[in-house]
Amino acid sequence: MIKKIVFYLGNPDNAGRLRRLLYITLAIIVLADFLVPRGDHAVFFWDKIPGWGALYGFISCVLIILLSKFLGHQGGLMKKEDYYD
């Protein structure tokens, strides 16, 4: 069963279908955030903004990726493929 799932996810022919499924899932999560009543549970003012968690998470992930690439390429953490040869 797991073998079928792994082969399905790894098949390049299914990439478009999986990407569409991912986008639909993300849209549903963001839209669901508009339906959740905030009420007295919001501690900070930005907690009351619908979609804030998704936006914050997306921006955080992009910054982590960019910082990692910068440290790897410009910071000297990444070595060439033939470093140990």
**Span 38-68, pLDDT tens digits:** 777 888 888 888 888 888 998 999 999 999 9
CA distance 39 to 48: 8
- The share of the chain scoring above pLDDT 70, in percent, equals 99
CA distance 21 to 10: 15
Contact residues for 29 (Cβ-Cβ < 8 A; gap 6+): 54
Question: Is the whole-model pTM more than 0.85?
Answer: no
CA distance 14 to 4: 13
Question: What pLDDT sits at residue 51?
Answer: 84
- The share of the chain scoring above pLDDT 90, in percent, equals 36
User: Mean of the pLDDT values across residues 11-19?
Assistant: 91
Residue 55: count other Cβ atoms within 10 Å of its Cβ.
14
User: Mean of the pLDDT values across residues 4-25?
Assistant: 91
Contact residues for 46 (Cβ-Cβ < 8 A; gap 6+): 52
